[in-house]
Structures are given as C-alpha cells and as structure tokens.
Structure 1
Amino acid sequence: MALSEDSALAMGFSVARRAAAVPLLLVNGTYRKTVRSYLDSVILQNQLQRLNDHGSLKGSHAHSRSTLEVPIFWFLHGEPLLVDKHYQAKALSDMVIVVQSEPSSWESHLQCNGRSLLWDLRRPIKAALAAVSEHLAGLLPLHLVYSHAHETAIEDWIWSVGCNPFSITSQGWQLSQFQSDTIARSYIITALEESTQLVNSAIRCLAVERTSEKTFRIFHSEERELINKYNYVVSLWRRISTMTGELRYVDAMRLLYTLEDASKGFADKVNATIALLHPIHCTRERNVHVVFDMTTIPAFLIVLGVLYIVLKPSRPKPKIN
C-alpha cells in the first residue's frame, strides 16, 4: 500500500523521519562523518498506536487467544533509510518495523577481518526475521550479554557466531536448533506461569467464600469434580516440567494447549461453584432464635423498668400568673 493511500500512515512516516550525523569508524582507524536518514521508532510507534486506537490496524485475529497477531510495518524508500540510525528492522512492544531501500551494497558501521560489512538494503529479510523472533519469543543475539558491573546489556562480539539471522558476519536467515530451543523454553515458561496464576486466582476466590451449614451440601456435590480438574492441571505441570528437563521441547509444546484448556476449565468450574453458593448467602433468615436461661427474665424486667422511667408521662406543673 502506498503512503498516499493512507494519509494517517503517511503523516506518521513523515513525523518519525529524522536525519543525523553518525561517526563511522573506518578500517584504518580514522573516523568519517556520515549523514543517515532514519525513522525514530518511538515516534513512529506512537503515531501507529493512534491508528490502532481507531481500530484501523486490527486484523481478524486481534482478539483470538490461539493466534498471535504481529503487526509488521514494512516501509519501502528509494534512498538509504534505517530505523534508529543503525537497524534495518526493530522489534517494539506491540509491532515490528522494517525498512527497505534501493542500495544493494551499502557500507554499514560494522567491520570484520579488516573489511567493512556491506548490507543489502533491498532484502532486509534477515533483519526482519530477527526482529520478529525477538518480538515473539524474546530471542536476542548471542553477542548481547548482561554486565553485572555496568548493570546493563553490553556487546561481546566474540559470541557473534553461527549462520542465522542474529549473526552479523553471515548471510544465513534460518534459526539454529539452539535458538529454536530457546523459543520453545520461552513459550513453555510463559504458559506455565499463566496457568499457575489462573489456578491460584481461582483458589483465592474460592477461599474467601463464607461457609455455612446450608452451603456444605452444594459444595460437597461439586467437590469431587473440582479436585479432579485441579489434579489434572497439576499432572500437566509435572509432565511438562519433566519433558522440559529431558530437553523434549517438542513434546512439551504439544501439551501447552491442553494445559491452557485445563486451567481455564478449573477456573470456570470454580466460578460456577461460587455462583451456586451466592443465592444461599443472600437468603434471609426469617426465624429468630432466642435462648432463654436464668438471666433472661431479670434482664427483661430491668429493661422494662428503665423504659418506664424514661417514657412515663410527667405531671403537669401549675402555672402561676
């Protein structure tokens, strides 16, 4: 779609476009100033989110639980254009931005073996796959490590190895087995965490319900099914954890949908049980039970005496003129 066909999208593109002077380290150790045209990802994200608020960017699977919709904005431009000065694609919290330009051999800011690395700006497929992988599963390049001394992420280019989208020294665009396992672990941990939170939330709702003699029979009739559903969820937790510990990620991934349905089934059963208990809690007790003992009659007499003294009519006083 051309930008001229969508005025709001064209406005977001023009507002986010920037130019900056970037120092480029040459192979001989000297610096050279280059002017780069780029898109500010933060500004562009804000502009695109405004479109999303009006619903124009939401697809048919936007509210589906089983399908994750990833908005990918792929911008084509004649002159060299990057994202945030240095990237062909970038993953944001709710979208992926990719830029494509005409130059097929563009000198980047990176070097290897005494030569500058050339980027093919016409085919940003490798950068797009890396950005989508980061957006979907939090997959990061191997050369990014956490520094405890600096308390932030730093670059250690010794680990920039392999022939995959995250390796800058290769042209490969297929994910390695190690990266596939990392994605699987990310999804498994997320599914287990969501299931645990849902089950614990349902148990907390059930724990705060008041118990009484009348609610016991109804709860007792639902107790067996609640226990069975809970035990089924716990058994799935154990099976998935065991498979993950044995590095059987494919088998563990197959159980994630079953785990989601089982957790939701337990939560729905808890809500249905609570709904059955609420009408009984709201029923008023019409019978008043008074317990009589040796102190009841004297107490009544004292109360009646106090009421007589307080409420007895006073004698009228004669009026003297």
Structure 2
Amino acid sequence: MVIAVRTKNTQTVSDYNCNGRHVFTQTRELERPLVGSILQSMWGVSPTHLTWSALHNSTLVDYSWSVGQTPFGPFSEMSTLSFAQKDAARRNVLLTSLNYSISSAIDVLDSVAAHGGERKLLKHNQYVEFVQRWSLFKYKLDKAVSALSHFDFELALYYLRSLDHDLYGAHAIVYHASQELEASLACFKDPPFPWATVSVYAVCVVAFIYVYMKRDKLFRNKRKQF
C-alpha cells in the first residue's frame, strides 16, 4: 500500500546542490513519488541511488545514476523509466513466478516421496503420464531460464505460464493416486519357538542346582582324598 501526502507549500529547498545552486523539491507534485513507491512495493525495483556494497555489507547512497529518466531522487524531474528499471520490473515478476513454480514442484515431489515413491503410488498409466508431465515441466523450465538470461521476457513468461499447466497436471495425478490408496494389514507368522536354546538353558540350570545341592558331599570327598 502506498500513501501519498501533499503539503500546502509548492516547493521547498533540499539539502543538495547542483552546479552551485540549491535543488528545489516540488512538494505539490506527487506523480514521481507515487511511481517510485509503486515500483518498490509492487515490482521490487530498488531506487537508483541505492547501491549494494559487499565491503560494507549494506546499501550505500550514490546519486550518480539518479538523474534523467528515473522517478527516484531529487536530481530529476522526470517520471519516465529507463530501460534498466523497466527490465528490472519485468524480471522481478518472472523471478517471483519462477520461484513459485519451483516451490510447487518440490511440494509435488515431497508428496510422492511421502507415499512411498512413484513406483508404489502410481499405477502404470499414471506413472507414464506423470513422467511425461515432469519431462515437459523440466524442458519448459530450462527454456524459461534461458529466455530470461537473454532478456526475452515475453518468451520467458510464455514458458512459465505453460509449465504451470504441466505442474498442475502432475499434481492432479499425484492427488488422485493418493485418494485411491487403501490401508491394508499384512499378517506374518510368528517365529518358531527356540527349543534348542531353551533346552541348553534348562540343562545348565538343572546342572547348577544339582551341584549346589550335592556340594557338601562332593567337597567332603575331595577333602578325604587329600
């Protein structure tokens, strides 16, 4: 949301100088501030006087590019956009759509993995259709990224909108397949009783009890021998 405030004064003196003269700001004209604010809030276009500094790990103010066709900064009176700002606005829209499509594709894969994999979840005809949809999705995704890297925004938008249909189809296949799953209980036989182990244990216990009960007689015989 953008809120514009208009003052009663027609202009005011700013803190900047240009060619030794003070720069005046037209406070009654809201076209440039509104255009700049809408660009920032809706299309994510940063002001032309803000640059990123890796050395400072923050943004720096540099008015070198805030002249001419830009709605940002006090050194320009034009509300038109340069090609860099137009490209940035269109590119940000495509990047947002691309991020949404990739996130949705990851959700589809997570859903398939949660149901035991595509081999267990999908039937033969569903599996073939899912592979076809997924192959088309990857192909169109590569084409969209390639077009975006060549600044062909219209072609990139075409592929992004087209791959959404394949992604929706793959999601529908997974959803219908998950609805057809039925819970089943697999019974198994109990393991055989370990008679050998129990027998050995019983013999050892009986032998120990016998030795314990006959200990006096056994040790007495030993003492008589010595």
Q: TM-score range by the shorter chain?
A: 0.7 to 0.9
2:168 aligned to which of 238, 246, 264:
264
Structure 2 unaligned regions, length at least 5: 203-226
Task: Please give the residue correspondences for 1:32-51 in structure 2 after superposition, counting only pairs within 5 Å.
Answer: none
Distance 1:129 1:146 in 2: 22
**Alpha-carbon distance between aligned partners in 1 of 2:47 and 2:184, rounded to the nearest angstrom:** 62
- Which deviates more from structure 2 when the two are superposed, residues 251-260 or residues 228-237? 251-260
Q: Which residue of 2 aligns with 1:229?
A: 133
- Which amino acid in the other structure matches residue 241 of structure 1? V
Distance 2:58 2:6 in 1: 31
1:261–1:175: structure 2 CA closer, same or farther, 3 Å change rule? farther
Match of 1:150 among 56, 80, 99: 56
Q: 1:173, CA displacement in angstroms? A: 0.8
Alignment of 1:1-321 (within 5 A): 95-210=1-116, 216=120, 219-277=123-181, 279=182, 282-285=183-186, 288=187, 290=189, 296=192, 299=195
Over the aligned positions, Cα root-mean-square deviation in angstroms equals: 2.8
In 2, are the aligned partners of 1:106 and 1:119 still within 8 Å (CA)? yes
**Which position in structure 1 is the counterpart of 2:216?**
none
SS at match of 1:283: coil
Q: Structure 1 stretches (4+) deviating beyond 6 angstroms?
A: none
What displacement does 1:291 show? 8.3
Superimposed CA distance per residue, residues 55-114 of structure 1 (whole angstroms, 9 cap, x where no aligned partner): xxxxxxxxxxxxxxxxxxxxxxxxxxxxxxxxxxxxxxxx22221122222222333222
Is this contact kept in 2: 1:165–1:173, CA < 8 A? Answer: yes
| 3-state SS of paired residue (1:98) | coil
Separation of aligned partners in 2, 1:221 and 1:242:
32
1:135–1:232 distance in 2 versus 1, CA, 3 Å: same
Instruction: Give the number of the structure whose residues are more often helix, by fraction.
Output: 2
Partner secondary structure for residue 106 of structure 1: strand
> Which residue in 2 is equivalent to 1:312?
none
**Which deviates more, 143-152 or 133-142?**
143-152
Query: Deviation string for 1:87-142 (max 9, x for gaps)?
Result: xxxxxxxx222211222222223332222222222221101100110111211122
CA contact (8 A) 1:198 1:264 kept: no
In 2, Cα distance between equivalents of 1:143 and 1:182: 15
State TM-score, norm by structure 2.
0.75
Paired AA for residue 271 in structure 1: Y
Note closer, same or farther for the CA distance 1:114–1:261 as it changes in structure 2 (3 Å cut).
farther
Report the structure number with the largest CA radius of gyration. Answer: 2
- Give the letter for the 1:180 counterpart: K
* CA–CA distance in structure 2, aligned partners of residues 161 and 151 of structure 1: 25
- The one-letter code sitting in structure 2 at the alignment partner of 1:194 is Y
Please give the per-residue CA displacement for 1:236-290, whole angstroms capped at 9, x wherever unaligned.
Answer: 111111212222122222333333343333223222222222x2xx1334xx554
Between structures 1 and 2, the one with greater strand share = 1
Scaled by the length of structure 1, the TM-score of the pair is 0.55
Q: Distance in 2 between matches of 1:217 and 1:98?
A: 55
Q: Which has the higher contact order (CA 8 A, sep 6+)?
A: 2
Provide the rounded CA distance (Å) in 1 between the counterparts of 2:65 and 2:194. Answer: 91
Distance 1:162 1:109 in 2: 19
